[in-house]
Amino acid sequence: MQREEIGPAEVALLAAFADHLRLERGLSPHTVRAYTGDLTSLFVHLAHVGDGGAGDVTLADLRTWLANQHATGADRATLQRRAAGARTFFAWAARTGRLPSDPAQSLRSPRVDRRLPPTIEVDQARAVLDGLAARVDEATEPDELAARRRDLAMVEVLYAAGIRVSELAGLNLPDLDAQRSLLRVLGKGGKQRTVPLGVPALRALDGWLAVRGRLARPAAGQALFVGDRGARIDPRVVRRLVHRALAGVPDAPDLGPHGLRHAMATHLLEGGADLRSVQELLGHSSLATTQLYTHVSGDRLRRAYQQAHPRA
């Protein structure tokens, strides 16, 4: 799929749409690339079938495009994302007068079977953190100690706060309010939320901040976590760390940082937290997204039913 295959009018539209997503809606570069990539796919399809440019698109064209995507192996989640991208784009283009009408207004996308990825049990999460703490105790060199304290603090924060790896990497020193055990997080779309931290996470952060100066260089600025070269930590480094830590726990699934986010939400619900509180902690804009976790807590609900219902 090459952008060179589409016309200059479509290229200009995509560039303006990307600016809208980035500057007006505050979406991440990754999300902007996903949107524009899907729309490039649409315009390449139209160029190949000879159905004209963006101003000539009909609802039938959009349905044919999605049908072709399905025929070539795209799963339902991908089709849903591309349909949503088309609806967003054409609504914006019509609203701003760039296109005469919105052909995607009635475009429907397939339902997605939303299954929660595998998560880890409470004892497995404890084993991961205990293993990282043991590595801190085994460190013999000052720089090695600093790196291992950082690793422990990052994983403690990921599990305690349920934040995304990109949010963790973007944390700055002023975002930590240790006195009130709170962390200020900048989430998707530039939305800010405050999440609490438990005693183990705060203790790990104290240990890391005491030695942060051994690794931090001027390029780190106010970054809370820095890499071995002294700049802000790279999310890829955090992902590798979590994969390694989980690999050391018997029977633990091979999950990345997002698996710790799933685990935090699941363990909170199993412990009795209400759904709206979990929604706020995770930074979900819709409660429907958080409800995905409720089926994991079926055992807890079953136990509560059996204990409380007179005819259980």
- Taking the C-alpha atoms of residue 197 and residue 260, their distance in angstroms, rounded to an integer, is 15
Question: Of the residues 20, 87, 164, 262, which is catalytic?
Answer: 164
Give the tokens for residue 311: 């005819």
Give the tokens for residue 288: 């429907």
φ, ψ at 25 (rounded to 5°): -100, -10
Helix ranges, the chain (H): 8-19, 29-49, 59-71, 76-95, 122-138, 142-161, 165-169, 199-209, 212-215, 235-247, 257-270, 275-282, 287-290, 298-308
Question: Which DSSP state fits 106?
Answer: T
Residue with tokens 């999460």: 125
Residue with tokens 């009130």: 180
- Taking the C-alpha atoms of residue 256 and residue 158, their distance in angstroms, rounded to an integer, is 11
Question: Of the residues 188, 214, 239, 300, which is catalytic?
Answer: 188
Task: Establish whether 214 is a catalytic residue.
Answer: no
- Identity of the residue numbered 260: L
Residue with tokens 């490039």: 40
Task: Establish whether 188 is a catalytic residue.
Answer: yes
Question: Of the residues 82, 135, 261, 267, which is catalytic?
Answer: 261
**Which CA distances in Å does 187 have to 21, 30, 112, 148?**
15, 14, 24, 26
Answer for the pair 215, 230: CB distance below 8 angstroms, yes or no. Answer: yes
- Taking the C-alpha atoms of residue 203 and residue 178, their distance in angstroms, rounded to an integer, is 10
- Taking the C-alpha atoms of residue 167 and residue 189, their distance in angstroms, rounded to an integer, is 12
Which residues are catalytically annotated?
164, 188, 258, 261, 284, 293
